[in-house]
């Protein structure tokens, strides 16, 4: 719901956006369905955006899981390096009605799109941009800093109420640097990928909401959502291993952002961490 306030005699309209970290497999989806109704009632967000790259068996997305989570109340999905892991889901990425984007700084010619303008029920327009970090990542991606500049230039002058950036990356320094680089240019820079929520949610000096990593929606007694024993064994032996999604009590982690529609700047960022027993 759009709230309003008076400041210096002028009417200021605020938008609320709920952003969820990486949803990991079936336990993550069950957690969203269990906890999201109460979060929506409590906070009344205008849009709910989630990173969905781990929704299908922990790697990739599918038409079925996107439909399931959309029906649960999520408006739109960002992704990351696992977006092409599930081939049937990958085939849907070129469909502009499919509410999923992949990182914009993948090389040209890849399926899908890296940004999209979405509308809320109040007809507010939100530009959502998805990026990949490059430090410590397996592949050589294009520059996320320059790519964001290109996208912002393309949408300059449009009637957009907010710009949300999901930076899916490993290195905290790269995410922090991007946050400062985009401070004042976008409404929020929100980190994903590590599945571990960081304690640095803040409003940067020029009005951009920032967090290094929003966390995950997945099982707590795990290694970032997957069974811990194979991962530990892999570190001990340096041998390949197959991971399986963990099961048990879970966590829903994300942030709630409040944005002044007129300036597109954030006025508040609130970290959300909710626990749930999925058994």
Which residues are part of the catalytic machinery? Answer: 82
Asked if 60 contacts 53 with a C-beta cutoff of 8 angstroms, the reply is yes
Conformational region of residue 267, where left means phi above 0, alpha means psi within -120 to 50, and beta covers everything else: alpha
Q: Give the number of residues written for the chain.
A: 279
Helices 63-71 and 25-43: crossing angle in degrees, nearest 10, is: 30
**Residue 251's beta-bridge partner residues?**
218, 275
Asked if 97 contacts 66 with a C-beta cutoff of 8 angstroms, the reply is no
Cα separation, 218 vs 224, whole angstroms = 8
């Amino acid at each position: 719901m759009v709230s309003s306030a008076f400041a210096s005699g002028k009417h200021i309209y605020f938008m609320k956006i709920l952003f969820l970290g990486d949803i990991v497999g079936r336990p993550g989806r069950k957690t969203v369905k269990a906890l999201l109704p109460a979060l929506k009632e409590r906070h009344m967000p205008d849009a709910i955006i989630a990173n969905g790259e781990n929704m299908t068996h922990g790697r990739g997305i599918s038409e079925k899981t996107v439909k399931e989570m959309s029906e649960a109340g999520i408006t739109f999905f960002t992704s990351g390096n696992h977006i092409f892991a599930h081939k049937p889901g990958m085939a849907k990425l070129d469909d502009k009605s499919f509410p999923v984007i992949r990182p914009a700084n993948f090389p040209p010619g890849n399926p899908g799109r890296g940004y999209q303008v979405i509308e809320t029920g109040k007809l507010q327009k939100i530009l959502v941009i998805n990026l990949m970090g490059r430090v410590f990542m397996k592949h050589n991606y294009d520059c996320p800093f320059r790519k964001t500049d290109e996208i912002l230039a393309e949408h300059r002058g449009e009637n957009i109420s907010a710009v949300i950036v999901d930076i899916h990356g490993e290195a905290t320094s790269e995410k922090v640097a991007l946050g400062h680089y985009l401070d004042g240019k976008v409404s929020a820079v929100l980190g994903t990928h590590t599945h571990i929520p960081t304690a640095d949610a803040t409003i940067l000096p020029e009005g951009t909401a920032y967090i290094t990593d929003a966390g995950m929606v997945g099982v707590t007694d795990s290694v970032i959502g997957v069974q811990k024993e194979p991962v530990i064994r892999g570190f001990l032996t340096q041998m390949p291993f197959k991971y399986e999604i963990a099961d048990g009590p879970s966590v829903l982690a994300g942030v709630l952002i409040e944005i002044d529609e007129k300036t597109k700047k954030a006025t508040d960022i609130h970290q959300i961490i909710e626990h749930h027993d999925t058994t």
